[in-house]
Structure 1
């Protein structure tokens, strides 16, 4: 090869090297919509509005949070799945919801693998009562549930609060006279408990923190095997203090980009997640103040992190007779026995 050819080849390689990163870097040219399939003020809405500005600054385009509630989050989720797979329409939720909508028949032919997963926090449900309620601990509330019964506000059967109530029933056994009253999101469910419209709520700590601080509701137990500490509040005792055999799994939340978008979209968001979200002081502050766990992850690591709660919720639906399809059809194997 002549010197001329060597220089020519080197020039081509240099040009390709220079062009490579530019071709791989996604530059959004219009706003990104994140569909929150619940009403404003709930757990998903809260944390998505913390994360959206981080994404907006890093990607250099507006990131718009769109609330589209209904049918336990399945309406907004379907809207995201039905949108063009161009990287401009995402959704947000608890990953256990998106992964198990098909099991309950709310959405057909969907699974966890329909998304690239970006997790940010883990949330825990809290059993709380109206501030004027006589019950001072979960034992007293359980006694009332086994007797005359109570009303419990949740965001629906497939919401975190609804699944928490079902899990409590499963762990406590019958009789369990807790009548669920459903709302369009966790925030209105908690407000209903604070106003006395319902007697209790099992929604997430992040949705209850301000009402607890304000003395509007009284927390009795957290669905965890250890006490929950929220900045400025007394620790909330774990449910295992009363139901020691109750299985609890962390409920991971995040934003999800439907599969089928250009690879450059996922590569760009992966980078933002790693460099900005996983070190975000704003997100850490939110978690500390609201009683969430700061737990960012993305891609395969996020999927692995989320699977325990996905399996728990999907298989719990089978145990409780709420499943319309076998979880195995969407790749979830339930433990035998």
Structure 2
């Protein structure tokens, strides 16, 4: 009997909320509808500010979580309307929330990860069972808590007998490598910044949300000195498993490095930031995915033609292509992943993340908030 789930995702890019309504059976995942909504400007600014220490954080974070749930609920209603479904037909809704801090393995050894979310409010607003808080159990068990999507990539993109690589370029970039033995052979980790620095610089200099198609970056020249300074960040040399976020790659990190190279043209900085993402991803693919023939790209980065062209140039041994060529458009992948993760939690099926987050054993991810 097919089962209906909703997945809702607001990522590090802070560009909005993506949602899918997906139908699952024993062997497949089919997206029946996709919807999205931008974040209101004041909420986007507050979520960005909450990535750094500030005044009255607890109060502000609670209000921001409530406001975010209103956007989540609106996207869920769009999905129901688009498919003619009722809330009673949905088994559960997987809500990721908005990551504002990600600091595993520190502060006494366990660390923490924080996603702003009010799943109880979302259950009230939608009348649907909500699964949320997907990352904290993995961190408590000794894992990184991120990335989680590689196990979903394995389920939908893996092919028995061949190695498959999936590159998600959202705010951060993460790589999944699925081996030929699908039952257990998967690894994944964060490569480094995806769109986060590219978008930040574009917003600061051009007052545009993002560099459409990478056209502005393509108009500039890569500055070798700045690129070398950026790539000297110790994170890039860490072995997998590893994860990162705005705690590290943020405007202050960028500004500190820009001061070492004064006088650069804005478009040259944009070209160099785009190349940073490309080089970080290419290095990971060359180190971990050499047995794969292709790299499937999802996330907003899949629409940056300049970035995709640079990836193909640096990775001639791979075919670099969008996940759309394999049945799931780039902007639907993460939302579908959280619908899939919600189903796993409802069914009490643990996730084997040992080669992804480094957790020592399989754990059930997500807390359930009944409607």
Which structure carries more helix by proportion? 1
**Structure 1 length as normaliser, TM-score?**
0.33
Query: Highest Rg: 1 or 2?
Result: 1
**Structure 2 length as normaliser, TM-score?**
0.31
